[in-house]
Amino acid sequence: MKTDTVFKRAFNDALDLVSRIPDGGALPSENTLGARLKVSRTTVRKVIAALEAQGIVDGDGRERVVRTTGEAMQPFPHSETIPMAAQVEERFMEWLLRDNARPGTAINELELARQFGIATTGIREFLNRFQRFGLIEKRPNSGWVFKGFTESFALELFEIREMFELRSARALAALPDDSPLWAQLEALRREHLQLLDDIETRFHDFSDLDSRFHRLISSAAPNRFIDSFYDIITVIFHFHYQWNKQDERQRNEVAIREHLTYIDALFGRNIALVELACRAHLISAKQTLLRSTSQQ
Amino acid sequence: MKTDTVFKRAFNDALDLVSRIPDGGALPSENTLGARLKVSRTTVRKVIAALEAQGIVDGDGRERVVRTTGEAMQPFPHSETIPMAAQVEERFMEWLLRDNARPGTAINELELARQFGIATTGIREFLNRFQRFGLIEKRPNSGWVFKGFTESFALELFEIREMFELRSARALAALPDDSPLWAQLEALRREHLQLLDDIETRFHDFSDLDSRFHRLISSAAPNRFIDSFYDIITVIFHFHYQWNKQDERQRNEVAIREHLTYIDALFGRNIALVELACRAHLISAKQTLLRSTSQQ
DNA sequence: CTTTTGTTTCTTATAGACAAAAATCATTTG
DNA sequence: CAAATGATTTTTGTCTATAAGAAACAAAAG
């Protein structure tokens, strides 16, 4: 059976939306709600039915009104709104980290399915998608093997990353002055400065900013294969941040400063400086990653 | 239920193996057979049982002998030895080519499953793996969309291909003289010359030679992400060769000559010449691919 | 005649079942 | 006791079933 995370997420969003409508105000049409909540009308109707059951929506057909005076609205717990696929990824990463991260470890679909409390189909589907990240490999009719978060993995990853990033940075620097990307880059620059100010408390927010920064650069010359490679980078770094918490604040601070130099070089349109700043940043990012790879 | 393609393939291979044993000769041990046929002992025993049923193997336990005097051995049809996953890929490509190759076409799992005569699970698994080829995209809770074999697809593919190939070619040219790759390259050069001699009749063989040549080059500096990208190239070209048969002989002849120039440049260790030959070849390959992309 | 709701049909996501194949454990034989 | 066969257990590949969700069709209302 399908999970109903779509419905639950939509319901929670609907509560939010409805709370901004005054008591007695008309409920938007099903089509409008569908567009806002990003679900089909079928799900909208299910949400409305649930709202009615909680007494938040009254009347029927074309004459539905919002009642916000009643008792507190009860949203579903956040965890029940996460699609299964996303949960599996999270849990798999945790599993790698906690238990069996040695290169060569066999991955047993059945065991994972039992441990995660889902059917083997879900595990299989996840592993098939995860395969492209280069960390696991399939042995037909036998299982999967974890190839390990090794030094060679990090080196190979960064070789490609450097090629892609340099190429995108050059493309960005060559963009005309009226390209909207410059404004976006300026906004990101400000975000970097703000984060630097609050670094003591907000250093965890760097991960997301980092990902957005590098994605902005590669959007200067879109290429689906490069974009897809950035998905890998993002996941690996997310994984890595959980793995290695050592010196996190300090590392992030250094990275922010490197980004700022890099951004300034881009604004300066000086290709040589851009390449220098880009390489410098990637080298330090590589060192960080290398420090937490497993030996062999 | 699982298909028994593993057993059937192993059985056919076993027939081949057994036919080289004189009548009355001893059958190799189950372990030996397993190693030779690349299957588990469980399957070996199933194969032996089938051979016994056909009267090709006689006796039991440790005293099994081969009987090759009986009637002709009956292998399973080749089509029954191909694993389902491989069949699906083939059929899906055909389907794209024949029916619905327009960009934006919706892909319906259920319909494909019915058309291919397999369960939806098989289709899903295939599509999830095929996703990385950049030709299809998933809409959660809805289906998949074929993004089209478009000009931008070809351009994006070749942008990456050029980066990777140049990098590998430089690495190969920098290899020491005693690297075994030079001998392999020389062997490939001879194969190219032979194919050129028989080009009128054997031009179809170029596809495979091409793939092996480029894979040899990238093996000069192995990188899992580049290797994985070559899988994409290989499939796309296989697909493209079926799509566009126009001038195939002539195109392949040109490509062989380009390869030979490229190989000579590599043997000459002259980086500038290598880059020149590599670029020239990739440009002409790109043109070929572009000519058969769908507009828009 | 466009927009909205009501109803029906079709597709996707997930679970569950089971034969094929692999892996493990046990026994025999040279 | 090492290597082979015999028997048993576990896991993978594939099918079928079904609720959740999307999409299509139909009727009603402004």
CA–C1' distance B126–D24 (Å)? 28
Question: Is pTM beyond 0.85 here?
Answer: yes
Q: Does A83 touch chain B (CB under 8 A)?
A: yes
**Token digits of residue B259:** 């390869």
CA–C1' distance B142–C11 (Å)? 7
Adjacent-strand bridge partners of B138: B144
All residues of chain A having their beta carbon less than 8 Å from the beta carbon of residue B131 are 129
Residue B100 confidence class, pLDDT cut points 50, 70, 90: low
Q: Does B153 touch chain A (CB under 8 A)?
A: yes
Q: Does A138 touch chain B (CB under 8 A)?
A: no
Adjacent-strand bridge partners of A294: A150
Long-range Cβ contacts of A109-114 (<8 Å, 24+ apart): A109/A143, A109/A144
| A212 CB inside 7 Å of strand D | no
| B176 CB inside 7 Å of strand D | no
User: How far A134 CA lies from chain B's nearest CA (Å)?
Assistant: 7
Describe the strand order of the beta sheet including A106-107 as a list of residue ranges.
Answer: A106-107, A144-146, A136-138
> Which residue is listed with tokens 């079926």?
B242
Q: Which residue of chain A comes nearest to B157, CA vs CA? A: A225
Mean pLDDT of the region B109-133: 96
Buried b (16+ CB within 10 A) or exposed e, B82-111: eebeebbbebbbebbeeeeeebebebebee
All residues of chain A having their beta carbon less than 8 Å from the beta carbon of residue B160 are 223, 225-226
Give the H or E element holding residue B225.
Answer: helix B224-243
pLDDT in tens, B127-179: 999 999 999 999 999 999 999 999 999 999 999 999 999 999 999 999 999 99
Of all nucleotides in the shown strands, which has a C1' nearest the CA of B117?
D15
CA triple B282-B167-A162, angle to 5 deg: 120
pLDDT score recorded for residue A243: 76
Decide if A88 contacts A123 (C-beta within 8 A).
yes
Q: Does A134 touch chain B (CB under 8 A)?
A: yes
d(CA A253, CA B98): 56
pLDDT score recorded for residue B295: 63
User: How far B172 CA lies from chain A's nearest CA (Å)?
Assistant: 16
Q: Does B180 touch chain A (CB under 8 A)?
A: no
Mean pLDDT of the region B41-69: 93
Nucleotides of D under 7 A from a protein CB: 3-8, 10-24, 29-30
pLDDT in tens, A215-262: 999 999 999 999 999 999 999 988 887 777 788 889 999 999 999 999
> Which residue is listed with tokens 């497993």?
A294
pLDDT in tens, B203-260: 889 999 999 999 999 999 999 999 999 999 999 988 887 777 788 899 999 999 999 9
10-residue stretch averages of pLDDT, chain A, 296 residues long: 96 95 93 97 97 91 86 90 94 85 91 96 96 95 94 96 98 97 98 95 91 96 97 89 82 95 97 97 95 73
The pLDDT mean for chain B works out to 93
| B84 CB inside 7 Å of strand D | yes
Q: Which residue is nearest to nucleotide D13 (CA to C1')?
A: B2
Q: Does A119 touch chain B (CB under 8 A)?
A: no
> Which residue is listed with tokens 């991260």?
A101
Of all nucleotides in the shown strands, which has a C1' nearest the CA of B108?
C11
- B27/A70: higher pLDDT: B27
Q: Where are the alpha helices (DSSP H) in chain A?
A: 5-18, 30-37, 41-53, 84-98, 109-116, 120-130, 151-173, 180-197, 199-202, 206-218, 224-243, 248-267, 271-291
Q: Which residue of chain A comes nearest to B142, CA vs CA? A: A40
What number of C-beta contacts closer than 8 Å exist between A and B?
A: 49
Decide if A252 contacts A203 (C-beta within 8 A).
yes
End-to-end CA distance of chain B: give it in Å, rounded: 43
CA–C1' distance A4–D18 (Å)? 14
CA triple A210-A131-B130, angle to 5 deg: 105
Residue B188 confidence class, pLDDT cut points 50, 70, 90: very high
Chain B interface, best mutation among A2, A156, A231, by max B CB count within 10 A: A156
Residue B73 confidence class, pLDDT cut points 50, 70, 90: confident
With pLDDT > 70 as the criterion, what percentage of chain B qualifies? 99
